[in-house]
Amino acid sequence: MPPTTHRRKLTQKELRAPDEFTTFVDSARDFFVNNLTQVIVSAAVVVAVGAIVIGVYYYERHRDTLASARFYDAITALNAGQNKTAETGFKQLADEEPGRRLGRLSRFYLANSYLADGDLPNARDSLVAFLAEERDPLFRSLALANLAVVYERMADWKKAAGAYQQAAADPGPEQVRAELGVARMLAKSGDKQGAISAYRAFLNAHPFAQQRQDVLESLALLGAPADIAPPSLGASAGPQPVVIH
């Protein structure tokens, strides 16, 4: 005799109750329909923001390209001795693109253009403005050395010595020239003993410097005794200066 199968009878409540999957789908559909406008607006905002970001990126790259071309034109004019053309190009780029690297560097090269043209006040002001924002040690050293040259040509020995001292404080291509500049400014300002000490310190630090003979002659003009021993042939040469023309 086959086993008896018990069939449970569903209640009316169970027949009316939807299963969990159907409930979730219906709820999601109702939410989407009820919030359709908000969903569309949100999607549109995301698309718009993405378009703006992409647009800004390519616009900035386009401006970078234009700035590079203008900077190249100004550099070319400066190297060709067309100082006025270079001044105009660098000044416009510095004024119109102060937030870009090439815009800030334009102030340094603008000062070089003024210096080549003999315009010392504008060269000074451009270098001071450049140094107020520049953080790169190499360009700061170059700018300080050039600022010292400007002050020296303006016969402001004190400010020239200060700028040379700052340039000499950091290792770089202008350090040797700056150290000599400090000694020279001390001599010009009448501080004879200070100049002698600076020249002697230079010879001790750079016994094989190309400027050694010039320094010895400067010491002789200052009346210092010639008691500086010649460098040993077995010593290693010190760093050589890099002169920016």
Where in the chain are the domains?
Answer: 45-134, 137-226
User: Which architecture does CATH list for 137-226?
Assistant: Alpha Horseshoe (1.25)
170 close to 239: Cβ distance less than 8 angstroms:
no
In this structure, whether the domain defined by 45-134 belongs to CATH 1.25.40 is answered with: yes
Helix count and strand count (H, E) for the chain: 11, 0
Task: Kindly report, residue by residue over 151-175, the tens digit of the pLDDT.
Answer: 999 999 999 999 999 999 887 788 9
Q: Which residues of the chain have pLDDT under 70?
A: 1-60, 62, 226-245
DSSP assignment of 138-165: HHHHHHHHHHHHHHHHTT-HHHHHHHHH
Task: Kindly report, residue by residue over 187-210, the tens digit of the pLDDT.
Answer: 999 999 999 999 999 999 999 989
Task: Kindly report, residue by residue over 205-226, the tens digit of the pLDDT.
Answer: 999 989 999 999 999 999 887 5
Burial class (CB in 10 A: 0-12, 13-18, 19+), 147: buried
Same topology, domains 45-134 and 137-226? Answer is: yes
What pTM does this model have? 0.68
Token code pair at residue 10 = 């569903």
Which residues does 141 contact at the CB level (< 8 Å), separation at least 6?
167, 170, 172, 173, 174, 175, 178
